Every structure is written in structure tokens, then in C-alpha cells.
Amino acid sequence: MPFPNEHSCRIRQPGDFQADSFRRMVQGKLAMIVGRLKGESATTVQTFRYPTDSWSEKEAREHCTAQGGHFEGAMTGAIREAAGRTRG
């Protein structure tokens, strides 16, 4: 599901990770969701998040592609308005 203020790049599926091990980390203008893979103690990147005020969709997509991830752009205004109407 797209986020209103962030582009997203999924690297690993959430089900690969231990429950309740997820944390958000920020390095410069890049945010990462990290967690511990099942059976491991070290953290691994699950998703990159790109704030729209720092990353264009093109820049974020290029970074995601270089990481081998699945890219999803942030919600556009029309999508955001439609989502708000369905949530009532």
C-alpha cells in the first residue's frame, strides 16, 4: 500500500523476519525498516523509505532498482483523496 509522504522499496518480505523485531532507522535522507531474520541476531534491511520532500520518484526508483528491491511510489493527491473518502 502506498504511503502519503514516502516512496517505498521492499527488499525482503516481512514474513522472513522475527515478530516484533522491526525498527526504523534514518541515515541522512534515507529511512530504513530493519529487523532480525528468523533464526538470526543481526539486523537486515527489510524496506527502504524515501521521504518525498527529499527524494523524487525517479531518484527513489533508481536507488531501489540498484538495491534489487520492489518499488512503490508515494500516494499522489488523487489517490490520497480517494483513500480519505473510503475511510469515511
Name the pTM for this structure: 0.83
Quick one: pLDDT band at residue 7, thresholds 50, 70, 90? very high
Tell me the C-alpha to C-alpha distance, in Å, between residue 51 and each of 11, 24, 25, 42, 84.
17, 13, 13, 26, 20
Handedness of CA 36, 37, 39, 40 (dihedral sign): negative
Q: Where are the domains of the chain?
A: 6-87
| pLDDT tens-digit readout, 10-33 | 999 999 999 999 999 999 999 999
| pLDDT tens-digit readout, 52-87 | 999 999 999 999 999 999 999 998 754 445 455 454
